[in-house]
């Protein structure tokens, strides 16, 4: 449970940062950012794997680039589900997904490495 909460908080911080960096993304509040992180986590856990399996042929044909379209869909669906979170266009959704993924992964790896250093 602690890992879920820390990932959610890291992702919500990344969502807030990216909303300042990309003009097409708007977040109303920190609570909205937490809701976006939770919804994105749920969509990526339950819906994204199904979409990946269903689109294997087109993903292979496009050499994996169709996975970017799936990421865009996840962001657009989160924007449709969470009030106070808007993504104006597909380009904003693409950059949002890339930058949030990068920031979240980077921070989680830093935390993991610092915890491993503290154990030794």
The 10s digit of each residue's pLDDT in 1-50 is: 888 899 999 999 999 999 999 999 999 999 999 999 999 999 999 999 99
Q: What is the DSSP letter of 22?
A: -
Whole-prediction pTM value? 0.91
Tell me the C-alpha to C-alpha distance, in Å, between residue 52 and each of 16, 29, 66, 119: 27, 32, 9, 37
Q: Would you list the domain boundaries of the chain?
A: 2-110
Angle at CA 16, nearest 5°, toward 43 and 103? 70
Q: Which of 1-10, 13-22, 61-70, 73-82 has the weakest average pLDDT?
A: 1-10
> Pick from 40, 42, 118, 36: which is nearest to 83 by CA?
36
Instruction: State the pLDDT confidence band at 74, using cuts at 50, 70 and 90.
Output: very high
- The pLDDT value recorded for residue 2 is 85
Residue with tokens 């950012």: 33
pLDDT of residue 119: 77
């Amino acid at each position: 449970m602690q890992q879920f909460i820390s990932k959610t908080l890291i992702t919500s911080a990344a969502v807030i940062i990216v909303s300042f960096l990309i003009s097409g993304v708007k977040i109303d509040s920190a609570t909205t950012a937490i809701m976006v992180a939770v919804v994105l986590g749920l969509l990526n856990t339950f819906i994204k794997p199904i979409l990946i399996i269903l689109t294997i042929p087109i993903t292979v044909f496009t050499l994996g680039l169709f996975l970017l379209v799936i990421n865009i869909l996840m962001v657009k669906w989160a924007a449709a589900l969470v009030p106070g979170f808007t993504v104006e266009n597909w380009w904003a959704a693409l950059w949002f997904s890339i930058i949030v993924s990068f920031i979240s992964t980077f921070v989680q790896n830093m935390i993991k490495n610092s915890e491993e250093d503290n154990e030794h």
